[in-house]
Amino acid sequence: MTKSVNETMQTLRATDFTHWLATFWLVKRKLSQQQAKYSVLKVDTDAKLEQKLKNAVTAKILDKEYALDEYDFLTADQDNGLLTIDSAATDVTLIQAEIDKGTANPTVERYEDLLDSWAMVIKLEHQEKAIYAYRKISKFNHPTKLSHISFIQFKDKQLKDLDEQAIFTIDTQIDFFTYTGTTFITNKKEFESTLNFRAGMEKNRDVVLQEFVDLNIFSDASLLKQHIGANLNYLRKVSSIQKSGYYKDAQFLQELIKVNSQKNWGLQVENGTIVINEASIELVLTLLNNGRLESPINHEIFDASVKKKVS
């Protein structure tokens, strides 16, 4: 975690948001060949709702002294922490570029315009500063889902049907927010879902598997590709392998093969290349991510899907 990111968070926590303006935006998303295209609509709000939206963002920032940690594909549960990632590595830059067009964007005028939205964004701004807070849109705002839902109000000691009213539900929990080029993630699952990270991980898979072939690491990488497929758990592991880049280090691979033989881990190696079989795929993904670790205290060996470098 860089010092500047910690300083950014401390600056936010010390900010007086009294004079910051809140605006509400809906994000529409279209996928074409796994590429996402975004457009936005501005939604006018009354003063009471505007203040509620503003409070949802500031409360998330000021709520507690968060522990910050860098986002990784295999990051552990967050508990009271925030994960951070450079916004340029995500689609938020595309969405925010649309929002920053301001009045050039259309404003919602019909109830139907609200439906089929992908996400909502609360933008807080003051002078040249801006915070963008994101939340994945509820499934109850899609026409097919709404047809099976009854909205009922308890009033005057009776349940009253509200089906005739134009109802739009929002959840003001914040999945992630961005400020000065950094994205702070409060909900990793929704962050990845909102920004189509699975497609990015699938690209990582294809790049890594081709590099495995080019580097002649395996006798046949085709079985590995079949096994990984679109499995999210394996996609995370492969993306983590790509990020760490251990497989590009010839000395690392030599040591892996050497220690495998010494420890009898079960990898089959022929002529300096690893032979893939159904039983060894999980082990291969673990070892290429440098995830087999030994305790210096009692020398027990563990496979660690999540780890944090100490030194």
What is the number of H-type helices and E-type strands within the chain? 11, 14
Q: Tell me the pLDDT tens digit for each residue of 248-287.
A: 999 999 999 999 999 999 899 998 899 988 888 899 999 9
Residues 57 and 191 in one domain: yes
Q: Could you tell me if 243 and 73 are in contact, meaning their C-beta atoms sit under 8 angstroms apart?
A: yes
* 150, part of any domain: no
Residues 55 and 126 in one domain: yes
Residues 277 and 181 in one domain: no
- Bridge partners, 134 (sequence order): 121, 176
Q: Tell me the pLDDT tens digit for each residue of 58-67.
A: 999 988 778 8
Residues 173 and 247 in one domain: no
Share of the chain above pLDDT 70, in %: 90
Domain boundary among 180, 195, 210: 195
Residues 100 and 131 in one domain: yes
* 60, part of any domain: yes
* 270, part of any domain: yes
Label residue 49 by pLDDT band (50, 70, 90): very high
Residues 24 and 83 in one domain: yes
Q: What angle do CA 243, 249, 252 make, to 5 degrees?
A: 105
Give the torsion sign (CA, 96, 102, 104, 108): positive
Residues 187 and 252 in one domain: no
* Stretch 110-121: mean pLDDT: 90
* C-alpha of 298 from chain center: 36
Residues 247 and 279 in one domain: yes
pLDDT of residue 24: 96
Using CB atoms within 10 Å of the CB of residue 290, give its burial: 0 to 12 exposed, 13 to 18 middle, 19+ buried: middle
Q: Which of 309, 210, 301 shows the shortest CA–CA distance to 260? A: 301
Q: Could you tell me if 269 and 254 are in contact, meaning their C-beta atoms sit under 8 angstroms apart?
A: no
Residues 80 and 184 in one domain: yes
- Bridge partners, 153 (sequence order): 160
Residues 12 and 120 in one domain: yes
* C-alpha of 117 from chain center: 18
Please tell me what DSSP assigns to residue 105: S
Q: Which domain holds residue 15?
A: 3-139+168-195
CA-to-CA distance for 226 and 230, rounded, in angstroms?
Answer: 9
Residues 23 and 133 in one domain: yes
Q: What is the pTM for the complete model shown?
A: 0.82
* 227, part of any domain: yes
* 162, part of any domain: no
Domain count, the chain: 2
Higher-pLDDT residue of 147, 98: 98
pLDDT of residue 249: 95
Label residue 233 by pLDDT band (50, 70, 90): confident
CA-to-CA distance for 185 and 133, rounded, in angstroms?
Answer: 10
* 160, part of any domain: no
User: Tokens 């590595």 sit at which residue?
Assistant: 89
Residues 277 and 175 in one domain: no
Q: Tell me the pLDDT tens digit for each residue of 155-197.
A: 786 767 776 567 777 888 899 999 999 999 999 989 988 888 8
* 11, part of any domain: yes
Residue 33, phi-psi category: left (phi > 0), alpha (psi -120 to 50), beta (remainder): left
Higher-pLDDT residue of 59, 146: 59
Residue 182, phi-psi category: left (phi > 0), alpha (psi -120 to 50), beta (remainder): beta
* 156, part of any domain: no
